[in-house]
Copies of this chain bind each other. A is one copy, B any other.
Amino acid sequence: MAFCDKSECECRFSDSFFIFCMSQVNAPRIKDIALKAGVSIGTVDRVLHNRGEVARETRERILRIAGEMHYSPNLMARALKSKKKLQLVALLPDASGENEFWARHRNGLDEAMKSFEPFNLSLEVISFDLHQDDDFLLKSETVLALHPDGILLAPILKYQSQQFCDKLTGQGIPYVFFDSFIDETAFLSYTGEDAYQSGRVGAQLIDYGTPVDKDIVVVNLARDLANTLHLNDRTQGFLSYFVDSGMNRGRQLCLEIKNSEYSRVVEVLDEIMTSNGNIGAIFVTSSKAHKVARFLEQHGRTDVVLVGYDLLDRNVSYLRQGVIRFLISQRPAEQTERCVRKLFDYLLSDKQPVRMEYLPVDVVTSENVRYFF
């Protein structure tokens, strides 16, 4: 039954996907078209690949016949023959230290690479330092120097990314976004979070478990909030939920903490918790909920419901302890995996991806977090 009946024969293809390449039953071949058109297969091939040098009349006849027969090439045979190589490059922030968030995106890329590396394509990952303003420019030049066939980009530095994208568009290099997107560019596809809607989910989770007379604090921990679009979207979504529900609720207070060092977080939270004894919940729009969690734990305020984003180790640790109640996650690894797949489909099969693909807003608690690793 099985093809590989010897243990010596370690299959070269790590996935099941090769089966997709099995030949279709009775699918028309180039040969069949050639036969019907009364020409050789070489001529058919020239027509199908626009290699020119074919009489107009012959060309039209062949195209008509191919259309009638619903010809589509056997990609398996094609791949067997072809020596084509594709080079992709992913450009995203460095995942060290404070930026652990970006580690999961790397995982998705690694996962994709594991599947694709054995084949005629390569994926180079280049990361830039978020805290060095000119590093993005530097690294984007490195990317261009590689003359890639396609690019995966996390465009969190809006201005610089836009410049880069314009260059790519000029050079005809297709690019896909993950994590966030910039509307004013010619990106092929975005794969990621629906930030506004995820804010609404956060609001709903807090609303459900927080007494109606309590106030809720929205904490934005970001160096440059105005330029961090998705945090704004999350906040807007969060607030919209309470507007829509029309319930008589305690107030929602929005806080912005530019310097996210812990001492500064303590300072700000201390002040607001002291001046307002009625705070029942905190929503942290970024992945830094663990800083607020640390504060709540140290100040014995675990009565406050805390909801945040992203499965960073420190967040998960507080989630398991019960200090963080919910984490909202956006499937970072799946984002990059899908991006790789989309570029392949586009480059190899001219398959146009969905332009905006929102992945599910996952609600993660201490009881189901185990499934997200």
Contacts and interface: CB of A to CB of B under 8 A. Distances in A.
Interface of A: 1-6, 8-13, 15-25, 27, 48-50, 63, 66-67, 70-80, 82, 84, 115-116, 118-121, 149, 194, 197, 200-201, 203-205, 208-209, 241, 325, 341-342, 344-351, 358-368, 370-372
Given A3-B78, A19-B116, A71 B9 contact: yes
Given A5-B50, A8-B48, A76-B76, 13 more contacts: A11-B350, A11-B351, A13-B349, A16-B342, A16-B345, A16-B348, A20-B21, A22-B79, A22-B120, A27-B118, A208-B208, A358-B371, A363-B363
Contacts of A194: 371
A4 B73 contact: yes
A19 B344 contact: yes
A149 B11 CA distance: 20
Nearest to A21: B21
A367 B204 contact: yes
A135 B21 CA distance: 37
Interface centre among A20, A71, A241, by most chain B C-beta atoms within 10 angstroms, is: A20
Given A16-B351, A19-B348, A197-B368, A149 B1 contact: yes
Contacts of A2: 346-350
Contact of A79 (B12, B21, B366): B21
A35 B194 CA distance: 57
A75 B201 contact: no
B10 A368 contact: no
A363 B203 CA distance: 15
Contacts of A48: 6, 8-9
Contacts of A359: 371
Given A4-B349, A8-B48, A67-B8, A365 B21 contact: no
A191 to B, nearest CB: 13
A365 B363 contact: yes
Contacts of A345: 15-16
A3 B70 CA distance: 17
A13 B5 contact: no
Nearest to A51: B5
A168 to B, nearest CB: 14
A351 B349 CA distance: 28
